[in-house]
């Protein structure tokens, strides 16, 4: 199949939505046969999933500094996590996002300058 390169300019605050839409489009293009994505227990981000699953059910928000996440992972976050909001997008096509999505969380806010991220549990407040 011939391929074309396309550049798309997306406002930073809409990057997560853009990736979600691309994921939906890819699923549709594949006939929706991928099923519910899940994170491999061998993934480098599995410890983050376990950590977030361990947060009390009464908590609706949790903030973590990037260094805290690195400590949970046992490895430093990649440079792209510090530089690009898109790395924190709530899209199941990225292994790191599968960690928080599979644990029942979504990224609500990322502060790249302050090196922190806020996760929320979707659903009733």
Strand, helix or coil at 51?
A: helix
Residue 104, pLDDT > 60, answer: yes
- Which residue would you say has higher pLDDT here, 80 or 29? 80
Q: How many CB atoms sit inside 10 A of residue 111's CB?
A: 13
Q: What does the domain layout of the chain look like in residue ranges? A: 12-33+41-120
The pTM of the whole model exceeds 0.85 = no
- 78, pLDDT greater than 60: yes
Say yes or no to pLDDT of 44 above 50.
Answer: yes
Given a cut of 70, is residue 2 above it in pLDDT? yes
**What is the per-residue pLDDT for 22?**
67
Quote the CA–CA distance of 112 and 116 in Å, as a whole number. 7
């Amino acid at each position: 199949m011939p391929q074309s390169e396309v550049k798309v300019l997306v406002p930073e605050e809409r990057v997560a939505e853009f990736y979600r839409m691309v994921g939906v489009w890819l699923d549709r293009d594949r006939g929706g046969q991928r099923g519910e994505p899940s994170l491999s227990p061998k993934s480098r981000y599995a410890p983050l999933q376990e950590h977030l699953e361990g947060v009390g059910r009464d908590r609706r928000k949790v903030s973590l500094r990037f260094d805290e996440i690195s400590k949970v992972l046992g490895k430093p976050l990649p440079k792209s996590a510090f530089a690009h909001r898109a790395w924190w997008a709530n899209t199941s096509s990225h292994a790191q996002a599968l960690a928080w999505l599979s644990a029942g969380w979504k990224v609500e806010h990322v502060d790249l300058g302050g090196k922190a991220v806020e996760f929320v549990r979707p659903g009733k407040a």
